[in-house]
Amino acid sequence: MERFPTLFFVAGVGCFAVAFLLSLVLPAMTLGNYHDMEYRTMEQLAAVPSHEFLELERVYPEAFEEAFGAADSASYAEALQLGRDLYVGQACWHCHSQYVREVANEAQRFGAPSRAQEYQNALNQPHLWGTRRVGPDLSREKGVHTNDWHVAHFLSPKNIVPSSVMPSYAYWFEADGTPKRDGFSIITYIQWLGTEEGRGEE
Amino acid sequence: MSSAALATNDLPDLTRTEGRSLVEYGLVRAHIAAAGVALAISMTAGFLYSLQFLGWFPFADEYLSPGHLRLVHTNLAAYGWLVNGFTAMTYYVIPRLTGQRVWSAKIGWLIFWVWQFILVATVSGFLMNKAQAIEWGETPTGFRPGTFELNWIPVDLLVVIGAVLLIVQLMVPLYRARDQKFYVTLWYFTAGLVWLALTYLMGNVIPEWVLPGAAGAATTGLFIHDLVGLYVTPMGWGLMYFFVPLILQKPIWSHSLSVIGFWALAFFYPLGGVHHFLLSPIPDYVEFGAITTTIAIEVVVTTVVVNFFMTLKGKTSALRDSFAIRWFYVGAVMYFITCLQCSFQVTWTFQKIIHFTDWVVAHAHLIMFGTFTFWLFGTIDWLWPRVTKRKWYSRNLRAWHFWLSTMAIVIMFVDLTIAGLIAGFMQRELNPWNDILDASLPFWWVRTFSGAMMIAGLFCGLYNMYMTCRHGEPYDETESLIPLSAD
């Protein structure tokens, strides 16, 4: 019992393997058996550019063309990926969660509780559920606010929500408030969150 | 201290075999020094991040942003401070308990520099937006998501290489001593090193490349939990079981209890991972399993806490004489509070309110700072004169370090726990978000204040370590067969 091989193989490898099976492989298998759990690739997610993405092109034609060319599914995919990369890189997900629970009146505040199917796609690999809400949950954010609201809010959150502690992301925008490539992308990504809502419902 | 002083390895040593030092003191010193520097940067980053909550954040550029500093804070605390600190201690403890040297001093220095390079690449990667979306494992993959195109130094890969080298380095003496019966500290170290490699691989590979979405969340939950439960915890317990009896010069109270603790940790601890994402789309039966085993962990932790207090019993004067024992004592009290809290907060009843709030931040600081950092401070307090062969420069500075840290963590814990409860209930009662922020603000002021105390304490400690190297009086281990007299 108290010798090297037992400790190495039984405790080290063995106990880890038991937990790996019970709390990882087993839930993964259960989730895999849910209906409508096919993985959606970036091409599938970006097949139809969102209203908000098209609106960004309409409102800022020159800046948009410089950043992405035309608004099509290829540029939409590009913007979503870059937007997600910024969301990850700037640690947005450490202050905003991305799942709505069925408790604590969260459905009233944020919208429908989350389902596993919504997260089975390229923009949730790895997932961005987060563990802290300094700011509100963002998993139903699509269409809650307009693009203009987001531009104003990213430039100076305190102007919109007086007690906000969110930093300004003015460096994603020109001095006159026109989004740069990063600004377009983060708004596109935020306006995508919630698109998969309802997936998996009977 | 100068790097020459760190590299000097020819200081007198009581435990020489074949004319060579059993313990590679240079590596112990270097890892402790690197750990101290990493902790100083980590705490400073955390402090600056907390200023954002007060509207006082000093920078406005894309690189030194509050989000980036938060990543620097947590990752340097884990990979810079704790890993370097525990590595230093294993370099000291394993050869002494097995009677075998580590694999190679040269490899040791290679690992040391690879590890510090990893930290630099991680921090600079964060500033360049290259973090990976895995909590506590944000170390950059270095690959563009979903592809094998490099966009940064592949830190994850380097960590695996560094960790494997480190494990071989430390497993060599353990393997050479395979015919001995191991003291319980070595049980924890053996298993903890295997777990570190498996945990890091699992957490950084599976959610990134294999399982997206909810199944990936089960994995990252397990990763967060295992990193603490299967690396930090066994290393910390191993230190407690080695250093406390050594400092007190008496055997551990109950060996059987430590054995029960070990196997219960090995079995129950890794099953609780999903508790980081309760009431989520992860299947309920998995959540119930995680909740039940998490409550069981409270029993496991009690074995360690009871063993510590019973070993101390009859020698409580050590609390007056030895700073190391003070650190361990406060750490053990904090540990009991954290884990008792854990067995309540893991239930759905508590989760409804406290999840997503500052309560969890308080909990994380209590365990990572209040317990494991305190225990590492305790071991460093005892070890630093022995590895530098210098007496502590200032007793007052040691006292300041201890008292500032202790008061800071108590204030921070109480403050953020209350803040979490208030914010949690306000969220449930559908108060406007702006009002929740207003209600939290006074608590965030106190949090920043307690953070400043913590940093002040740390700088007392680091300055004292530096001055001990430069100006401490020579310390001769032979004159201190009773270690307490070193104080």
Total tally of structural domains belonging to chain B: 1
B-chain residues near A27 (CB < 8 A): 214-215, 218, 274, 282-283, 286
User: Is B189 part of the contact surface with chain A (CB cutoff 8 Å)?
Assistant: no
A24 plus A95 within the same structural domain: no
Q: Is B119 domain-assigned? A: yes
- Tell me which residue range forms the domain holding B52: 1-10+23-180
Contact flag A89-B277 (C-beta cutoff 8 Å): no
Contacts of B225 (CB under 8 A, 6+ apart): B269, B270, B272, B273, B275, B276
A182 plus A159 within the same structural domain: yes
For residue A71, give how far its alpha carbon lies from the nearest alpha carbon of chain B (Å): 22
Which amino acid does the sequence have at B204? N
User: Would you state the structure tokens that stand for residue B270, as one six-digit string?
Assistant: 């890794």
Average pLDDT, chain B: 91
- Give the number of other Cβ atoms within 10 Å of residue B313's Cβ: 10
C-alpha span between B419 and B425 (Å, rounded): 10
Q: Is A148 domain-assigned? A: yes
For residue A111, give how far its alpha carbon lies from the nearest alpha carbon of chain B (Å): 13
Looking up tokens 């389902």, which residue turns up?
Answer: A115
Given A5, A92, A116, which is nearest B281 (Cβ)?
A116
| Whole-number pLDDT of residue B19 | 57
State the Rg of chain A over Cα: 21
A143 plus A63 within the same structural domain: yes
Q: Is B77 domain-assigned? A: yes
Note the pTM of the prediction, 2 decimals: 0.93
Over residues B34-68, the pLDDT tens digits come to 999 999 999 999 999 999 999 999 999 899 999 99
Q: Is A200 domain-assigned? A: no
User: In chain A, whose CA is at the least distance from the CA of B234?
Assistant: A12
Q: Is A197 domain-assigned? A: no
| Whole-number pLDDT of residue A6 | 85
Mean pLDDT of the region B227-247: 94
A11 plus A101 within the same structural domain: no
Closest CA to A74 of A54, A41, A48: A48
User: Is B118 part of the contact surface with chain A (CB cutoff 8 Å)?
Assistant: no
Residue B482 has pLDDT above 50, yes or no: no
Look up residue B61 and give its DSSP letter: S
- Tell me which residue range forms the domain holding A185: 42-190
Q: Which of residues 317-336 of B touch A (CB under 8 A)?
A: none
Which amino acid does the sequence have at B210? V
A-chain residues near B142 (CB < 8 A): none
Over residues B352-405, the pLDDT tens digits come to 999 999 999 999 999 999 999 999 999 999 999 999 989 999 999 999 999 999
Look up residue A128 and give its DSSP letter: -
Closest CA to B70 of B55, B53, B84: B53
- Prior bond to B432 cis, omega within 30? no
A47 plus A125 within the same structural domain: yes
The pair phi, psi for residue A179, each rounded to 5°, is: -65, 145
| Whole-number pLDDT of residue B247 | 92
Q: Is A198 domain-assigned? A: no
For residue A59, give how far its alpha carbon lies from the nearest alpha carbon of chain B (Å): 25
Q: Is A146 domain-assigned? A: yes
Of residues B396 and B5, more confidence is placed in B396
A13 plus A76 within the same structural domain: no
| Whole-number pLDDT of residue A2 | 72
A103 plus A81 within the same structural domain: yes
Contact flag B57-A167 (C-beta cutoff 8 Å): yes
User: Would you state the structure tokens that stand for residue B311, as one six-digit string?
Assistant: 């070993």
Angle between helices A181-190 and A147-155 (to 10 degrees): 120
Mean pLDDT of the region A88-114: 95
Contact flag B282-A27 (C-beta cutoff 8 Å): yes
CATH code for position B76: 1.20.210.10
Given B190, B351, B438, which is nearest A163 (Cβ)?
B438
Q: Is B439 domain-assigned? A: no
Over residues B431-463, the pLDDT tens digits come to 999 999 999 999 999 999 999 999 999 999 999
CATH code for position A165: 1.10.760.10
Please, which pLDDT band fits residue B181 given cuts at 50, 70 and 90?
confident
Total tally of structural domains belonging to chain A: 2
C-alpha span between B59 and A64 (Å, rounded): 29
Cα B49 from chain centroid (whole Å): 20
User: Would you state the structure tokens that stand for residue B37, as one six-digit string?
Assistant: 């520097």
User: In chain A, whose CA is at the least distance from the CA of B137?
Assistant: A126
Contact flag A127-B132 (C-beta cutoff 8 Å): no
Helix, coil or strand: residue A106: helix
Contact flag A103-B348 (C-beta cutoff 8 Å): yes
Over residues B251-275, the pLDDT tens digits come to 999 999 998 999 999 999 999 889 9
Angle between helices A61-68 and A181-190 (to 10 degrees): 90
Q: Is B208 domain-assigned? A: no
Q: Is A107 domain-assigned? A: yes
A123 plus A173 within the same structural domain: yes
C-alpha span between B102 and B116 (Å, rounded): 20
| Whole-number pLDDT of residue A1 | 64
Over residues B106-134, the pLDDT tens digits come to 999 999 999 999 999 999 999 999 999 99
Q: Is B80 domain-assigned? A: yes
Q: Is A115 domain-assigned? A: yes
Residue B79 has pLDDT above 80, yes or no: yes
What ranges in B270-373 are assigned the alpha helix state H? 284-312, 318-321, 323-345, 348-354, 358-365
A22 plus A77 within the same structural domain: no
C-alpha span between B449 and B451 (Å, rounded): 5
A101 plus A60 within the same structural domain: yes
A82 plus A133 within the same structural domain: yes
| Whole-number pLDDT of residue B14 | 45
Closest CA to A104 of A128, A137, A143: A137
Mean pLDDT of the region B287-303: 92
User: Is B243 part of the contact surface with chain A (CB cutoff 8 Å)?
Assistant: no
Contacts of B27 (CB under 8 A, 6+ apart): B88, B91, B105, B108, B109, B112
A185 plus A96 within the same structural domain: yes
Residue B476 has pLDDT above 90, yes or no: no
Contact flag B437-A164 (C-beta cutoff 8 Å): yes
User: Would you state the structure tokens that stand for residue A51, as one six-digit string?
Assistant: 């209203």
Please, which pLDDT band fits residue B241 given cuts at 50, 70 and 90?
very high
